[in-house]
Amino acid sequence: MKQTVWHNLKLCAQGDPRHTVEDAAIAVEDGKLAWLGAVADMPAQYAPWPREDLHGAWVTPGLVDCHTHLVYAGQRADEFAQRLAGVSYEEIARQGGGIVSTVRATRAASEDALFAQSAARLEPLLAEGVTAVEIKSGYGLELAAERKMLRVARRLGDRYPVTVRTTFLGAHALPPEFAGRSGDYIDEVCEHMLPALADEGLVDAVDVFCERIGFTLEESERVFEAAARRNLPVKMHAEQLSNGGGAALAARHGALSADHLEFLDEAGVAAMKGAGSVAVLLPGAYYFIRETQLPPLDLLRRYEVPIAISTDSNPGTSPATSLLLMMNMATTLFRMTVPEVLLGVTQHAARAFGDADRHGTLATGRPADFAVWRVQSLAELAYWIGRPLCERVVRGGETVFRRNLAA
Ligand code: NIG
Ligand code: FE
């Protein structure tokens, strides 16, 4: 039985900087939180346990990155250059570039090469205190290549100290071999790909890109119905480039989240509130495609829809490998507050992730997954730009990351 008391720390157990405990301690037994709170209140039974001194650092729940496409091959720097010259993201997609160009590279890559390239994007996230990450498929768009992506995602979760949940995003784009036959492709997604991959245990949730350059409301609904037949939770890329009513559809299907949402209207916000869906905002994509339409923060606040922040790590709209940078962007670009962005990468992100019972909050009985920050104020997590702040990551009570600090 392994027992440790972590002490000399400041505790932000809920991911909410308005509710913290200074001079706190955390008792961990066999990887689980046995007790946490103010040192002055610590029951006597923990006093003899071996101790680890955190020298006054801040402790938060391990961060949750609840929307990523980090498994893919290649990169799209040439397309970035085209966009800098004035071509829009949507135009590039219509010309057969965009997502489909990453599909070509991903189909061609071996599973090992895909693993190595994806691991290089996961590692910087882990060095920032991320202990849970959602990873989508969607650059295979055929059974074998979607399977390869999801297997790589699972393998990342096995090889790295992080909880991975996979999302099948077969309905991400129309593969070239189905040009002009999007209904047939949706048949393929619903009747073959999803059932086969679910049977193989590779799918934890199902996502759809509902957009003019993605799939229609009717097509999206068919995918959601197929997910329901498998008892799989759903989520949606909705209202990213236009207001199509996707978020309301997702809400009707009890979605974990609707994501992007720059063009979301009040009816969509109200529907999300009614369904308890999380609004996942992706400031990296907003920034990188130079969007000017802001997500409706005031409406989301008024309806008290929980808001999460994520990297959307992907080669086309957000080649990001830093969740802290997304927190900074969410404050500066979206004018979110520090408590909002911190909750957005902990408690609210864990809801969108689909496992709020184990992630995003530190409480007795839960896994001892936490991040240790060498900062004076938690606001610094959103304040610094590109500065490594995470000193240590503890997962299941074990230190799984430590920044090299001069002795
Ligand atoms: O989240 N919008 C659709 N999917 C991704 C972008 C994918 C890509 O361009 O490769 C997103 O923005
Ligand atoms: Fe995305």
341 and 367 in a common domain: no
Residue 47 domain-assigned (yes or no)? yes
How many degrees, rounded to 5, is the angle at CA 133 between CA 272 and CA 149?
105
Which residue from 279, 267, 299, 301 is spatially nearest to 351, judged by alpha carbons? 279
- What is the C-alpha separation between 282 and 274, in angstroms, rounded? 22
Q: Does 345 share its domain with 229?
A: yes
Cβ–Cβ < 8 Å for 369, 400: no
Do 13 and 162 fall within a single domain?
Answer: no
Q: Considering its fold, how many domains does the chain have in total?
A: 2
Ligand with smallest separation from the Cα of 172: 1
**pLDDT exceeds 90 at position 240:** yes
Give bridge partners of residue 350 from the DSSP assignment.
none
Percent of the chain with pLDDT over 90: 98
Distance CA 80, CA 68 (A): 19
In b/e form, how buried is each residue of 322-337, taking b as 16+ CB within 10 angstroms? bbbbbbbbbbebbebb
Q: Are 292 and 344 contained in the same domain?
A: yes
Give the pLDDT of residue 173: 96
Looking at residue 405, its pLDDT comes to 67
Ligand 1 centroid from CA 203, angstroms: 19
Q: Flag whether 407 is in a domain.
A: no
Q: Are 401 and 388 in contact (CB under 8 A)?
A: no
**Which tens digits make up the pLDDT trace of 79-96?**
999 999 999 999 999 988
Is 332 among the domain residues? yes
Q: How confident is the model at residue 1 (pLDDT cuts 50, 70, 90)?
A: confident
Same domain, residue pair 377 and 316: no
SS3 139: coil
87 and 223 belong to one structural domain: yes
For residue 374, give the CATH number of its domain.
2.30.40.10
Q: What is the largest CA-CA distance in the chain?
A: 70
Task: State mean pLDDT over 225-240.
Answer: 98
pLDDT in tens, 282-328: 999 999 999 999 999 999 999 999 999 999 999 999 999 999 999 99
Mark which of 353, 377, 394 sits at the end of a domain. 353
* Residue 314 Cα to ligand 1 middle (Å): 6
Got the DSSP string for 250-301? HHHTT-SEEEE-TT--HHHHHHHHHHT-EEEE-HHHHHHTT--PPP-HHHHH
Question: pLDDT > 70: what percent of the chain?
Answer: 99
Q: Could you read off the pLDDT of 383-404 as tens digits, one per residue?
A: 999 999 999 999 999 999 999 7
Burial (CB < 10 A; 0-12, 13-18, 19+), residue 5, is buried
- Which H/E stretch holds residue 373? strand 370-373
**Rg (alpha carbons) of the chain, rounded to whole number:** 21
Instruction: Decide if pLDDT at 277 tops 60.
Output: yes
Ligand 1 center–CA 237 separation, angstroms: 9
pTM beyond 0.95 = yes
Q: What is the mean pLDDT of the chain?
A: 97
| 73 in the same domain as 48 | no
pLDDT at residue 40 is higher than 70: yes
Annotated binding residue at 139? yes
Q: Are 153 and 71 in contact (CB under 8 A)?
A: yes
374 lies in some domain: yes
Mean per-residue pLDDT for 207-212?
Answer: 97
Closest CA to 25 of 361, 13, 16, 63: 13
Residues with CB under 5 A from ligand 2 (ion): 312
Pocket of ligand 1 (CB under 6 A): 69, 98-99, 102, 209, 237, 240, 285, 312, 314-317
- 246 is a domain residue: yes
Residues 73, 20 share a domain: no
Calculate how far, in angstroms, residue 259's C-alpha sits from the geometric centre of ligand 2: 7
Shared domain for 67 and 186, answered yes or no, is yes
According to the annotation, is 312 in a ligand binding site?
Answer: yes
* Arithmetic mean of pLDDT, 160-181: 98
Q: Supply the CATH number for residue 144's domain.
A: 3.20.20.140
Q: Which amino acid is at 195?
A: P
| Domain co-membership, 47 together with 81 | no
326 lies in which domain range? 63-353
Return the structure tokens found at 154. Answer: 């699972």
Same domain, 200 and 301: yes
Would you say 45 is a known binding-site residue? no
Q: How many CB atoms lie within 10 A of CB 180?
A: 7
Q: How does pLDDT run across 120-156, given as a tens digit for each residue?
A: 999 999 999 999 999 999 999 999 999 999 999 999 9
**What pLDDT score was predicted for residue 323?**
98
**Above 60 in pLDDT, residue 407?**
no
Tell me: do 397 and 299 sit in the same domain.
Answer: no
Of 327, 353, 379, at which residue does a domain stop? 353
pLDDT at 406: 58
